Amino acid sequence: MEREGASPLVHLVIILTCLVWILPTLGLLVSSVRPAHDVAATGWWTVLRNPFDLTQYTLQNYREVLGAAGMGRAFVNSLIITIPATLLTIGIAAFAAFAFAWFQFPGRDALFLVVVGLLVVPLQMTLIPILRLYSRLGLAGTFVGIWLAHVGYGLPFAIYLLRNFFGSLPADLFESAFIDGASPLTAFFRLALPLSVPALASLGIFQFLWVWNDLLVGLIYLGGSPSVAPLTVRLSTLVGSYGQSWHLLTAAAFVSMAVPMAVFFALQRYFVRGILAGAVKG
Amino acid sequence: MRVSRSWTWSFVAPALFFLGLYLVYPTLATIHTSFLDRHGEGWVGLTNYVYAFTSPAMRTAFRNNLLWMVVFTTVTVGLGLLLAVLTDRVRYEGVAKSIIFLPMAVSFVGAGVIWKFVYAYNPPGANQIGLLNQIVVALGGEPVGWLLEQPWVNNLALIMVGIWIWTGFAMVILSAAYKGIPKELKEAARVDGASEWQLFWHVSLPYIQSTIAVVATTMIINVLKIFDIVYVMTNGNFGTEVLANRMYKEMFQFRNFGRAGAVAVILFLAILPLMLLNIHRFRRQEVER
């Protein structure tokens, strides 16, 4: 691609910003593999004097946070919470989005405006009534309760994104299918879904990261009990109880970030595409 | 296309059920609760709102949310735009953008731990283990308790974490808009003798202004709801309280559902104009389709 050329100042600004953005994470990563007394006594940057001296690194911190500190259990909980919450949201949203895009029914446009409005409702507005309902139904502190909550909270964005994508598919495609006698279900499964794999992937990554990284919903509906708490909730508890034990906090934080970072590096393109499609265009 | 009512319902009913149960019903119920006492039973009129607008803790929260809104929105949009324009000119654009975008993938809790470590404080004379204080000391200064010095230092330190997370988001959207400016437009301005600076102000900026507005709206909505960063890093102590964290405290620490409801409603009312703006934008965009 043709570039318009850059002065040294441009390079300086970009490189400085990149340093500010990457050094905090690098510090976390380095500290998480240093022995406790080193982390407490000297800054993480001291390893840079001799970065290849492997004797200064250890995996002990990870052993400790995954075991005794409960981050291993929390990791499993996060997977148990995130995977069904993601799949359910996409499934339910896809059906609704298809109807909003291609079916004609009274009140369709008004209903969709409501969905657009619900996009920005603060979760705080919903916590008290749902928690009360959950206490009555015995859903507080259960995985089922949090799956359903994440579906509810994730749907507006999911429907919005998919409806816009389905709507951009060529109309002739569906019209001719209907004339040929295809049922709405066939059109949905045989035409719309296969043509929407990129959009579904973007949405899947989005919802996955959203649920994985969520703190508030987990905190409210699951509580702090280690048997069900996801990584974010567990990590925030550790911040309170470990205080200045930076060797453990850094390792625990990295455990909570490993999956999102892997997803990010492997699927960045879809992630970006989802962000671009999700912003309400001006 | 026309389909029978039963088809329509079987496609949309599950979604409507969830939206109704998890968003519409609780929103109405919370408005109701905000007029009730701490157990959510007896009617107390506007008492909770009087508390919300007069108590010192809530005043601090309002002030901080306002500070967050101004600083966070200005910097994420401004810096995002600057980076979108500048990275367009260098060959390592992809790498630079990935680095700046990466924090979007990690949780606010994780980001909170990362930055708490950056801000770590040891008394003067001891080895600093926090990066920021090490830099300050190396430059000949005294170490600073970044999360303790109120009201400016610690609030700005928290806002920096938000900026670190969200700037990449602003940059990615603005970069896509910037790249969408037709080349001919820029060439024509250059032929007419416009400097790069004039080109930016009089051609590029007007061309992408609606995208800037969208990004700014998104940022304001995000920042009004800000919770995780404050909860993890200071829990609202030392004058860093924000509305969402206050709501959580009223609900779980003080068990006062009426007050918690009122704080939530205030948050909702603050976001409402932006919600209407979004709906308005969406309708205009549909007309143009």
Residue B43: strand pairing partners: B36
> Nearest-CA residue of chain B relative to A173?
B1
Q: Tell me what the pLDDT averaged over chain A comes to.
A: 91
Distance CA A22, CA A259 (A): 18
Q: What integer pLDDT is reported at residue A176 of this predicted model? A: 86
What architecture (CATH level 2) is domain B34-288?
Answer: Orthogonal Bundle (1.10)
pLDDT higher than threshold 50 for residue A281: no
pLDDT higher than threshold 50 for residue B244: yes
Given pLDDT bands bounded at 50, 70 and 90, which one contains residue B1? Answer: confident
Q: Tens of pLDDT along B171-203?
A: 999 999 999 999 898 889 889 888 888 989 999
Interface test with B, best of A38, A128, A259 (most B CBs within 10 A): A128
pLDDT > 70: percent of chain B: 100
Interface test with A, best of B28, B114, B214 (most A CBs within 10 A): B114
- The alpha carbon of residue A24 is apart from the nearest alpha carbon of chain B, in Å, by 6
- The alpha carbon of residue B151 is apart from the nearest alpha carbon of chain A, in Å, by 22
> Nearest-CA residue of chain A relative to B103?
A21
3-state class (DSSP) for residue B36 = strand
Q: What integer pLDDT is reported at residue A181 of this predicted model? A: 83
Residue A104: strand pairing partners: B2
User: Span B6-31, mean pLDDT?
Assistant: 96
Q: What integer pLDDT is reported at residue B66 of this predicted model? A: 97
User: Span A169-193, mean pLDDT?
Assistant: 88
Low-confidence winner among A2-11, A51-60, B29-38, B166-175 (lowest mean pLDDT)? A2-11
The CA distances from residue B92 to A5, B85, B88, in Å, are 12, 13, 9
Partners of residue B283 in chain A, C-beta under 8 Å = 113
Chain B touched by A19 (CB under 8 Å) = no
User: Span B252-269, mean pLDDT?
Assistant: 95
The b/e string for B225-236 (b: 16+ C-beta within 10 A; e otherwise) is bbbbbbbbbbbb
Q: What integer pLDDT is reported at residue B173 of this predicted model? A: 93
B26 to A24: CB separation less than 8 angstroms, yes or no: no
| Torsion angle (degrees, nearest 10) of CA B287, A97, B20, A221 | -120
Angle between helices A71-102 and B5-19 (to 10 degrees): 140
Chain B touched by A9 (CB under 8 Å) = no
Q: What integer pLDDT is reported at residue B208 of this predicted model? A: 93
Partners of residue B276 in chain A, C-beta under 8 Å = 117
Identify which of A13, A120, A159 has the shortest CB distance to residue B271: A120
Segments making up each domain of chain A, as ranges: 8-58, 65-278
Higher-pLDDT residue of B149 and A2 is B149
Find residues 48-87 of chain A whose CB sits inside 8 Å of chain B: none
Residue type, A163: R
Segments making up each domain of chain B, as ranges: 34-288
Q: What integer pLDDT is reported at residue B225 of this predicted model? A: 92
Q: What integer pLDDT is reported at residue A225 of this predicted model? A: 87
* CA angle in degrees (0–180, nearest 5) for A197-A110-B17: 65
Cβ-Cβ contacts under 8 Å between A and B: the total is 310
- Residue found by looking up tokens 């600076």 in the block: B197
Q: Tens of pLDDT along A27-66?
A: 999 999 999 999 998 999 998 888 888 888 999 999 999 9
Distance CA B169, CA B269 (A): 25
The number of beta carbons lying within 10 Å of the beta carbon of residue A197 is 10
Higher-pLDDT residue of A44 and A1 is A44
A174 to B1: CB separation less than 8 angstroms, yes or no: yes
User: Span B264-276, mean pLDDT?
Assistant: 93
User: Span A258-263, mean pLDDT?
Assistant: 93
- The alpha carbon of residue B20 is apart from the nearest alpha carbon of chain A, in Å, by 9
Identify which of A116, A209, A236 has the shortest CB distance to residue B282: A116
* CA angle in degrees (0–180, nearest 5) for B64-B75-B235: 30
Partners of residue A213 in chain B, C-beta under 8 Å = 106-110
CATH superfamily, domain A65-278, is MetI-like (1.10.3720.10)
User: Span B250-266, mean pLDDT?
Assistant: 94
User: Span A173-188, mean pLDDT?
Assistant: 86
B285 to A281: CB separation less than 8 angstroms, yes or no: yes
Partners of residue B173 in chain A, C-beta under 8 Å = 275-276, 279
Identify which of A132, A212, A280 has the shortest CB distance to residue B281: A280
Given pLDDT bands bounded at 50, 70 and 90, which one contains residue A282? Answer: very low
Partners of residue A119 in chain B, C-beta under 8 Å = 275, 278
User: Span B237-250, mean pLDDT?
Assistant: 95
- The alpha carbon of residue B61 is apart from the nearest alpha carbon of chain A, in Å, by 15
A149 to B22: CB separation less than 8 angstroms, yes or no: yes
